[in-house]
Amino acid sequence: MINQSLILDQRGIPYPTAAGIGSSAGYAAADQFSRVTRGWAASDGSSDVHVDNDLDTLRKFSGDAYRNIPVAASAIKGAVTSIVGPGLTPQSRIDREFLGLSHDEADAWQDTAEREYRLWAGSKDCDATKAQVFEEIQGLALLSALMNGDVFAALPLIKRSTSHYMLAVQLIEGHQVSTPDGMLNDPAISGGIRRNKRGEPVSCFVQTTHPGSLFNNRQWREVQFFGDKSGRPNIIHLFERERVGQSRGFPYLSSVLPKLKQLSRLSDAELMASVVTSFLTVFVKSPAAQGVAFGGGVGPDGKPLANKVQLGSGEQAMGHGNIVDLAAGEEIELADPKRPNALFEPFFRAIVQEIGGAIEQPADVILKSFNKSYSASRAAFLMAWKFYSRRRSWLVNNFCQPIFIEFLREAVITGRIKAPGFLQDSAIRAAYCQAEWNGPIMGQLDPLKEVTASKMMCDEDFSTRTTETRRLTGGDFSVNLPQRIREEKQRSDGGLRLIEGGNSPAAVSPPDKEETDEE
């Protein structure tokens, strides 16, 4: 028997055996001399090393993929549509018991807060550029964060005659925040973010012009994240942290960009091959080549005849029904490329499935193609919805809710909303600022099955009507119930009643006035 511990590689180092001889690691993956891991180049830099070295290139590739690769655009746009859709709206849910308010007082305060919020968020005055309402700003912020890795939002106070509020939101692309040329060696600054010794972000450096602008002047302005005295946020940094100490965010598609590019090349090549195959060009061999297409030359009007292909021009183009003359002795062999390729679609989908696994969106959702069974399609929906729900919570916690709090702060300061203790006590302020943010619902592949399941959940006390109403329609049961009562009263007053044993309405004649009077 050969002693495997004596088998050496080219450098004279023993290969590891099944017992781990030749490697001090307990994991086979840690053996750098195995055939699998040999040549595997991997870096072990800190998160900020990757930020400074890779972020700029990844942004460029991610932006190009979003603009030019359909699968990449579908993944990002689909996420934005499902997470934000037409916009996330808050439902005020103050801590009534802590604030010492009755149910009626709490309801009245919440109605006032939501009405004032709609007044601010529904106007383009909430945008520093006066281009979007707040719901549209949410979508743009998420789209920018997914495409570029992060986005910044300044919160200036702009006095406008058309608005009761001065609070405005100004989005800043991540490209504009970078380390100034003269501070590249400062260890406290990474990716344009200055941090203190605890790792807390203190300020960021914003270029006064976009680095991709034709008029970039390479000038920066340092902006503090929070006000010195008030603690009010001056700027919000929206990004998802994946490593401890990470200063900037990386594009959502970073881990799959190479595969997306290769997949795009494959798709383009298959499409071009199919287009070329669709062309029919006939080559005619004649005793003496005339240098023009069969039937070529000019017509009575002096214009070239149709389907003419000029020879000797250095390039012969195939076309729809072209007829090309060949010189004597030349022959043509028609190739059969067998296009379209029958194996293209399953291979394409297999790669999209691999990409979808990495970005937490199933291939069915990315491709918007649900050709499988109901169970399989619903499972894909549920898996994607977990990602959408997590990202929505992230967007609410790091963008929507902080801005909502600043809106309430200004409303209280200006007296448009009464909230005793809001400005003095952080616990009271937190009690007033509690809210639920609602957005697009998951959707239903089979409404009958979904509604039946929800009804059974409520009947067996596994869920509540409030929860199921929000899940199925995105509505509010506490709002729906009074509305339904009013509607049923209107139906009854209008002479409609339900047929006994069914749900179909039947018209009945209202009682005569004389009979009513007698009653």
Q: Does residue 416 register a pLDDT over 90?
A: yes
- At 461, the pLDDT band (50, 70, 90 cuts) reads confident
Task: Show Cβ contacts of residue 400 under 8 Å, excluding neighbours closer than 6 positions.
Answer: 88, 90, 138, 437
CA–CA dist 381, 385 (Å, integer): 6
Task: Show Cβ contacts of residue 164 under 8 Å, excluding neighbours closer than 6 positions.
Answer: 119, 120, 414, 416
Q: What's the pLDDT score for residue 333? A: 63
- At 112, the pLDDT band (50, 70, 90 cuts) reads very high
Q: What's the pLDDT score for residue 75? A: 96
- What is the average per-residue pLDDT within 54-71? 95
Q: What's the pLDDT score for residue 281? A: 62
Q: What's the pLDDT score for residue 519? A: 40
Strand 280-285 relative to strand 320-326, pairing:
parallel
Specify the DSSP class assigned to residue 302.
Answer: S
- What is the average per-residue pLDDT within 395-405? 97
Q: Does residue 9 register a pLDDT over 60?
A: no
The angle that helices 447-459 and 465-473 make with each other, rounded to 10 degrees, is 170
Place of tokens 């709490």: 106
Closest CA to 74 of 384, 440, 365, 353: 365
Phi first, then psi, for residue 236 (nearest 5°) are -110, 135
Q: How many CB atoms lie within 10 A of CB 81?
A: 13
Q: Does residue 397 register a pLDDT over 80?
A: yes
- Three-state secondary structure call for residue 507: strand
Least confident of 52-61, 407-416, 447-456: 447-456
- What is the average per-residue pLDDT within 72-84? 95
Verdict on whether the full-model pTM lies above 0.85: no
